[in-house]
């Protein structure tokens, strides 16, 4: 049993490595900017969803307010850069650190709540932050922040002419998020989280410090999502409160993990790879009419997948494997 | 206003209390109700007040159909039941918004020249807008009716019993699906009533539901899940808090007060004010 698990983990690592290499080679053949744009978004959502999955999937504390951390990351980077000239790389780390600290500060009262009360608390906190930022004149209020482009450079992490650097950073981010999850899966924390998810009371009685495990998951998750937010701010070079901190965004972040398979290593990746290109394609090919056909298609897809495959798309693969055995 | 929130929330609370399902498309139910009211008014010149029962009936059918077509299957999910419910109803919400955009276009519409729209009455020197006042009275009436319905009729008892123990209920010959479908219908009908009244004094557009849905969840949770009376009380509190916040803070911050009160309440009482679950 144990060796089988170790084998599976080794295999996962090899598969992930191969996928990352293949992904890294794709832009050499695909030069189309539109397609590259979709690939960047796909990788970004894979990273975000993977990070969300740590708290909500593994630890079972379903957060529908993760847009808060995404927005914090985006705003910290953008504000530090535009107001103080701090390089985005430091902004990224600062945003991550601030988000992790805030996640723990918020976790302190929130983790006592259970079920829907917790979910609604996460939504509400993100909404409060959204409204506050919308009314914060120094941070651009509802109009948001325009990040001035000052030429292509790795130092400032700005590239006006090419999407490639963004692509490789997004790939790196997705890989890091995946690796962190992979590593945590077999760590002390990983086991604690699954115990907390399945039965917090039993876990507590067996000596798992439930509260601390939740805090740890929240901090890691928030940090990674904030880095994603920083990246997004640099990528689109314009942010406004609604687009980086809105409730919709919290759901969009969770969606790949849920459709792919919540609480699984491959779920978020698989979900993002299928969902994001589909979203973008429906939006650009049939969304142009402005009459909501893309919404109809997209929504129907969500309903059908979530009803047909409650364990997510990864369950299709494991089911096949079991049948082959 | 608070009483209307209460009415919207009561529909949500009923559905939730009955089968532990949060309907993330609740705001879109409200949107549909407002459109139905609008079209009844525009094409048949039926005043929203008269249309209210018709809208409630239409939403009743709609709610029951949604249960039978979607939620029934979501509840059968063996894994991740919570997420399946959240995202299947969320997907439904997106579809409904898309359909509304497709058929009704994203234009803002409003009901003009209704019987009570834009008029005010003065009670002991306090001026109150008439639509809101009538809305409040209708909400109270609906709550009283709901209370008797749940506590005094066979169907109400079946509803309660199914909630307690669906298995045992099946043994005494009550069809669980029928009860649930009726419960969803009833929950939707309450929103229908609220939507008909709100159509008098709110603009109607495809995304209108989103702004009220979150407040409805907060209202239900504030009162405590599993308690329809709690939703009523929660609605009144939310209305009062909103009015008070509007006095102290700029209008753009008015929802912050509601959210802050929710957080305060659940940090002190993790199950809401009157919650049993």
Q: What is the pLDDT of residue B271?
A: 72
Rounded mean pLDDT, A12-37: 77
Q: Smallest Cα–Cα separation from B226: which of B18, B26, B86?
A: B18
Q: How much is the mean pLDDT over chain B? A: 74
For residue B100, the chain A residues in CB contact (below 8 A) are 292
Our measurement of the distance from residue A104's CA atom to the centroid of its chain's CA atoms, rounded to an integer in Å, reads: 18
Residues 34-93, chain B, touching A (beta carbon < 8 A):
70, 73-74, 77-84, 86-88, 90-93
Domain count for chain B:
1
pLDDT, tens digit, 9 for 90 and up, residues A193-209: 777 777 777 777 776 67
Over residues A303-321, mean pLDDT: 70
What's the pLDDT band for B205 if we cut at 50, 70, 90?
A: confident
- The listed range with the strongest mean pLDDT (A57-61, B170-174, B187-191) is B187-191
Q: Nearest CA to A304 among B74, B22, B23?
A: B74
Q: Reply yes or no on whether the pLDDT at B131 is more than 60.
A: yes
Is B94–A113 a contact, with Cβ atoms under 8 angstroms apart? no
User: pLDDT class for B128, splitting at 50, 70, 90?
Assistant: low
| pLDDT for A105 | 79
CA atoms of B104 and B108, how far apart (whole Å):
10
Which range has the worst mean pLDDT, A103-107, A245-249, B14-18, B76-80? B76-80
DSSP code string of chain B = -HHHHHHHHHHHHHHHHHHS---TTHHHHHHHHHHHHHHHHHHH---HHHHHHHHHHHHHHHHHHHIIIIIHHHHH-SS-HHHHHHHHHHHHHHHHHHHHHHHH-S--B---S-SSTT-EEEETTEEEEHHHHHHHHHHHHHHHHHHHHHHHSHHHHHHHHHHH-HHHHHHTT--HHHHHHHHHHHHHHHHHHHHHHHHHHS-B-TTHHHHHHHHHHHHHHHH-TT-HHHHHHHHHHHHHHHHHHHHHS-GGGHHHHHHHHHHHHHHHSTTTTT---
pLDDT the model gives residue B2 = 60
Q: Does residue B71 lie in a domain region?
A: yes
Q: Please report the pLDDT score of residue A153 as a whole number.
A: 65
Q: In the prediction, which pLDDT does B150 show?
A: 72
> CATH code for A2-324?
1.10.3470
Task: Please tell me whether the overall predicted TM-score, pTM, comes out greater than 0.95 for this model.
Answer: no
Q: Does residue A45 surpass a pLDDT of 80?
A: yes
Query: Contact B106/A295 with Cβ under 8 angstroms?
Result: no
| Residues facing residue A153 across a β-bridge | A158
Q: Is residue B73 one of the residues assigned to a domain?
A: yes
Which three-class secondary structure state does DSSP give residue A146?
strand
Name residue A146's beta-bridge partners: A238
Site from A116, A248, A297, A313 to mutate, B interface, most B CB atoms within 10 angstroms: A116
pLDDT at B130: 66
Q: Is residue B216 part of a domain?
A: no
Alpha carbons A152 and B165: distance in angstroms, whole number: 65
Percentage of chain A beyond pLDDT 90 is 0
How far is it between the farthest Cα atoms of chain A?
62
Confidence tier at A325 by pLDDT (50, 70, 90):
very low
- Please, are residues B111 and B117 in contact by the beta-carbon 8 Å criterion? yes
3-state secondary structure of A145: strand
In terms of average pLDDT, the best of A70-79, A188-197, A277-286 is: A70-79
According to the model, what pLDDT value does residue A256 have?
81
Find the mean pLDDT for residues A36-57: 81
Instruction: For Cα atoms B224, B230, B233, give the angle at the middle one, nearest 5 degrees.
Output: 130
Above 60 in pLDDT, residue A222? yes
Pairing relationship of beta strands A145-146 and A238-239 according to DSSP bridges:
antiparallel
B277 located within any domain: no
- Give just the sign of the alpha carbon dihedral A93, A99, A102, A107: negative
Indicate the pLDDT class of residue A324, thresholds 50, 70 and 90. very low
CA of B148: how far to CAs of A242, B140, B144, B155, B194, in Å?
43, 13, 6, 11, 19
Cα–Cα distances in Å, from A306 out to A56, A254, A319, B75?
A: 17, 13, 17, 11
pLDDT tens-place string over residues B211-246? 777 787 788 777 777 667 777 777 778 877 877 777
Confidence of residue A155 (pLDDT cuts 50, 70, 90): low
Please tell me the distance from the alpha carbon of residue A137 to that of residue A143, in angstroms, as a whole number. Answer: 9
Over residues B70-90, the pLDDT tens digits come to 777 777 666 666 677 777 888
Contacts of residue A106, Cβ cutoff 8 Å, sequence gap at least 6 = A125, A218
Q: How far apart are CA A209 and CA A207, in angstroms?
A: 6
* Interface probe with A: pick from B20, B72, B95, most Cβ of A within 10 Å: B95
- pLDDT for B100 equals 78
Query: What is the pLDDT confidence band of residue A289, given thresholds at 50, 70 and 90?
Result: low
Rounded (10°) angle between helices A210-236 and A67-84: 50
Task: Give per-residue pLDDT as tens, B97-114.
Answer: 888 777 776 677 766 655
CB contact under 8 A, A113 and B256: no
When pLDDT is averaged across residues A58-84 and rounded to a whole number, the result is 79
Strand, coil or helix: what is A144?
coil
B112 within some domain: yes
In the structure, what pLDDT confidence band is assigned to residue B166 with cuts at 50, 70 and 90?
low
To the nearest whole Å, the CA of B90 is away from the closest chain A CA by 8
Task: Look at residue A276 and give its three-state secondary structure.
Answer: helix
**Helix (H/G/I), strand (E/B), else coil: A263:** coil
Which residues between 295 and 324 in chain A have a beta carbon less than 8 angstroms from any beta carbon of chain B? 295-304, 306-307, 310-312
Does position B126 have pLDDT exceeding 60, yes or no? Answer: no
Distance CA A273, CA A276 (A): 6
More confident site: A13 or B82:
A13
* Per-chain mean pLDDT for chain A: 76
pLDDT band with cut points at 50, 70 and 90 for residue A183 = confident
Q: Which residue has the tokens 């929103």?
A: B191
* pLDDT above 60: residue B265: yes
Say if A286 is an interface residue toward chain B (CB within 8 Å). no
Q: Does B260 touch chain A (CB under 8 A)?
A: yes
pLDDT digits (tens, 9 = 90+) for B6-44: 777 777 777 776 666 777 788 888 888 888 888 887 777
Instruction: Tell me if chain A has a CB within 8 Å of the CB of B102.
Output: yes
| Contact (Cβ atoms closer than 8 angstroms) between residue B59 and residue B191 | yes
Beta-carbon contacts of residue A156 (< 8 Å; ≥ 6 apart):
A81, A87, A88, A150
Stretch among A145-149, A240-244, B86-90 having the lowest mean pLDDT: A145-149
Would you say A171 and A43 are in contact if contact means Cβ atoms under 8 Å apart? yes
For range A2-9, the mean pLDDT: 74
pLDDT greater than 80 at residue A46: yes
Question: What pLDDT score was predicted for residue A161?
Answer: 65
Evaluate whether B199 touches B18 at the Cβ level (below 8 Å).
no
Q: How many CA atoms lie within 13 A of A140 on its CB side?
A: 17
The two three-digit tokens of residue A293, written as one number: 């056909």
C-alpha to C-alpha distance for B149 and B166, rounded to whole angstroms:
20
pLDDT band (50, 70, 90) for residue A323: very low
């Amino acid at each position: 049993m144990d060796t089988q698990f170790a084998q599976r983990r080794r295999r996962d690592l090899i598969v992930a490595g191969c996928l990352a290499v293949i992904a890294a080679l794709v832009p050499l053949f695909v030069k189309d900017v539109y397609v590259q744009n979709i690939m960047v978004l796909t990788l970004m959502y894979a990273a975000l969803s993977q990070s969300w999955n740590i708290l909500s999937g593994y630890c079972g504390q379903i957060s529908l307010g993760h847009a808060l951390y995404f927005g914090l990351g985006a705003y910290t980077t953008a504000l530090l850069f535009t107001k103080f000239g701090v390089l985005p790389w430091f902004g990224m780390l600062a945003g991550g650190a601030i988000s992790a600290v805030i996640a723990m500060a918020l976790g302190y009262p929130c983790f006592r709540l259970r079920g829907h009360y917790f979910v609604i608390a996460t939504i509400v906190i993100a909404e409060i932050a959204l409204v506050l930022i919308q009314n914060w004149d120094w941070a651009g209020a509802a109009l948001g922040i325009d990040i001035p482009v000052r030429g292509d450079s790795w130092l400032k992490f700005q590239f006006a002419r090419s999407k490639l650097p963004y692509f490789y950073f997004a790939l790196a981010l997705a890989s890091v998020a995946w690796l962190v999850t992979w590593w945590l899966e077999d760590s002390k924390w990983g086991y604690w989280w699954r115990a907390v998810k399945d039965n917090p009371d039993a876990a507590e009685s067996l000596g798992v410090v439930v509260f601390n495990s939740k805090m740890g998951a929240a901090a890691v998750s928030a940090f990674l999502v904030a880095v994603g937010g920083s990246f997004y701010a640099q990528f689109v070079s314009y942010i406004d409160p609604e687009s980086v901190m809105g409730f919709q965004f919290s759901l969009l972040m969770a969606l790949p993990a849920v459709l792919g398979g919540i609480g699984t290593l491959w779920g978020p990746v698989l979900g993002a790879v299928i969902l994001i290109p589909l979203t973008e394609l429906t939006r650009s090919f049939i969304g142009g009419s402005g009459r909501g056909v893309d919404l109809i298609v997209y929504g129907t897809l969500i309903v059908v997948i979530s009803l047909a495959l409650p364990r997510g798309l990864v369950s299709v693969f494991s089911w096949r494997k079991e049948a082959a055995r | 206003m608070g009483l209307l929130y209460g009415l919207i929330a009561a529909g949500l609370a009923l559905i939730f209390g009955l089968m532990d399902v949060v309907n993330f498309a609740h705001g879109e139910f409200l949107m549909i109700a407002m459109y139905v009211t609008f079209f009844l008014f525009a094409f048949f010149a039926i005043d929203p007040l008269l249309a209210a029962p018709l809208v409630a009936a239409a939403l009743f059918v709609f709610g029951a159909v949604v249960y039978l077509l979607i939620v029934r299957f979501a509840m059968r999910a063996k894994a991740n039941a919570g997420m399946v419910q959240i995202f299947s109803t969320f997907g439904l919400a997106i579809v409904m918004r898309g359909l509304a955009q497709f058929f009704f276009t994203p234009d803002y519409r409003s009901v003009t020249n209704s019987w009570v729209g834009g008029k005010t009455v003065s009670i002991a020197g306090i001026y109150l807008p008439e639509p809101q006042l009538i809305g409040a009275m209708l909400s109270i009436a609906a709550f009283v009716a709901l209370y008797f319905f749940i506590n005094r009729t066979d169907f109400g008892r079946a509803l309660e019993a199914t909630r307690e123990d669906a298995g045992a209920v099946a043994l005494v010959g009550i069809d669980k699906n029928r009860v649930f479908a009726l419960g969803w219908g009833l929950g939707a009908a309450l929103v229908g009533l609220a939507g008909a009244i709100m159509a008098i004094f709110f603009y109607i557009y495809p995304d209108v539901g989103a702004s009220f849905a979150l407040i409805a969840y907060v209202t239900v949770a504030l009162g405590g899940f599993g308690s329809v009376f709690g939703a009523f009380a929660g609605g009144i509190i939310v209305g009062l808090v909103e009015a008070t916040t509007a006095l102290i803070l700029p209008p753009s911050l008015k929802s912050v007060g509601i959210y802050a009160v929710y957080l305060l309440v659940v940090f002190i009482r993790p199950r809401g004010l009157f919650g049993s679950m």
